[in-house]
Amino acid sequence: MTSWRDRFNQISGKSRFVVCRLFIHLAGAEVAPLLGVLNRAAREAVEADGDLQILGEGLVEICQNLLQYDTYWQSAANEGDVFWDEGEAGDYVNELFTDSAERYLSEPDFSQSSHGKDEPLSLPVTRNLIVMITVAYEGEVPVLESDLANLSALKEGLKTLINLHYQEKLRAIQVHFSPAQLGDELTNDQLLLNFPELIPL
């Protein structure tokens, strides 16, 4: 339902910007391969230096993989806001970026080699994985502006993100994940402490 402010801004011709963040929690030893997909996309994003086309291609790959792993989805959450000023929308994107990056083990470290001489050959495999996707777009996308904490809505939300990339409607894309690399572990206690907004699916 549109507010009087939305209607006024539509009449005055102002652009509508939406910033939203999606949390997906997957559980099970089988989710570890997703970390490889996420790390590759993160590495490419760093090298792309903000190129939205490359970031979008990474987002599409991540969303497609998440959809394939839907049997491991445990909980989810989403949040967002509508802005009529691009600068304010950008500030909110930065705010969500900082918050996501500060969540437990959500920043991959590409400066160090992943395999040291003294490290064991077998690494512990995390049973929990959180993926945090933040996007900004111009216009109105009802699918992403509703509660996504149920299976069918979440699937539609991920498919919609893919479509927004191909329609070239995304203005900002960020992906964080916890733990950030193979060998790190996100325990059930850490999950509850660092991601309290999650709702069981």
The answer to whether residue 7 is domain-embedded is no
What's the pLDDT at 125? 66
Phi, psi of 63 (to 5 degrees): -65, -40
172 CB-contact burial (10 Å; exposed 0-12 / middle 13-18 / buried 19+): buried
The reply to whether 60 falls in a domain is yes
> Per-residue confidence of the chain (201 residues) as pLDDT tens digits?
455 456 555 555 679 999 999 999 999 988 888 988 999 999 998 898 889 999 999 999 999 999 999 999 999 999 999 999 999 999 999 999 999 999 877 766 655 544 444 444 455 567 899 999 999 999 999 999 999 999 999 999 999 999 999 999 999 999 999 988 767 888 899 999 999 999 999
Domain presence at residue 172: yes
Beta strand spans in the chain (E): 17-27, 73-83, 128-138, 170-178, 199-200
Kindly state whether residue 20 falls inside one of the protein's structural domains: no
Residue 141 has a pLDDT of: 95
What does DSSP say about strands 17-27 and 170-178: parallel, antiparallel, or unpaired? unpaired
Is there a domain that residue 167 lies in?
yes
The confidence score (pLDDT) of residue 116 equals 45
pLDDT score at 11: 55
pLDDT at 185: 82
| Structural domain count of the chain | 1
The overall average pLDDT reported for the chain is: 86
> What is the CB neighbour count within 10 angstroms for residue 142?
7
- 83 domain residue, yes or no: yes
Count of residues making up the chain: 201
Per the structure, the complete domain to which residue 140 belongs is given by 26-107+123-200
pTM over 0.85: yes
**Each residue of 107-146: pLDDT tens digit?**
666 555 444 444 444 555 678 999 999 999 999 999 999 9
Do the domain assignments include residue 160?
yes
